[in-house]
Amino acid sequence: MQKIWLLLFTISLCLPMVALADSPTGMDQIKALTGEWDGTNSEGKPLHLSFKLVSGGTAVMETMQAGPEDMVTMYYPDGNSVMMTHYCMAQNQPRMKASASADAKTMSFQFVDATNLASANAGHMHHLVLSFPDDKHLSEQWTWTQDGKDKVDTMTLTRTE
């Protein structure tokens, strides 16, 4: 009887792990973006994004070509959530953490902190919303915060590879 109880107890501990391993996560959504994307920003300017799986599949590197210099955003798991660090042309590196969404069509990242940020009022990316209408389309809505004012730029993208 004791062996049966021990077996049932062990199985009950493992079931949540099996469920987590089989269920899609936010990181799975980010990994699914791997490839090349073209589109425009809110002002109609062209841009190109590339998503690449790196570090043994534990992170995704997004390279954004939207002007004279590329910017990089790294997405990586943090427990059951997803974190990101944006390496900005503003020469600071905001970190944001994803919050749960009501559906699998959006992922919202909230500001946690930043390196090389002179003050809380200095210009920096403060919020990001990724929208996944289908596997060939993506929208990134970036919020720039400076001196207590927000400016939103929406990038509408289509997968090219």
Show the tokens assigned to 36: 């090349």
Cα(30)–Cα(82) distance, integer angstroms? 9
What confidence tens digit (pLDDT) does each residue in 112-121 have?
999 999 999 9
List of domains in the chain: 25-159 (2.40.128.20)
Instruction: Find how far residue 114's CA is from the centre of its chain.
Output: 16
- What local confidence, expressed as pLDDT, does residue 17 receive? 37
Say if residue 3's pLDDT is above 80: no
- What local confidence, expressed as pLDDT, does residue 2 receive? 55
Say if residue 12's pLDDT is above 60: no
- What local confidence, expressed as pLDDT, does residue 67 receive? 76
Which pTM was predicted?
0.83
CB 153 within 8 A of CB 42: yes
Nearest to 96 by CA among 70, 65, 62: 62
Give the whole-number percent of the chain exceeding pLDDT 70: 85
What confidence tens digit (pLDDT) does each residue in 44-101 have?
999 999 999 999 999 999 999 987 889 999 999 999 899 999 999 999 999 999 987 7
Cα(118)–Cα(92) distance, integer angstroms? 9
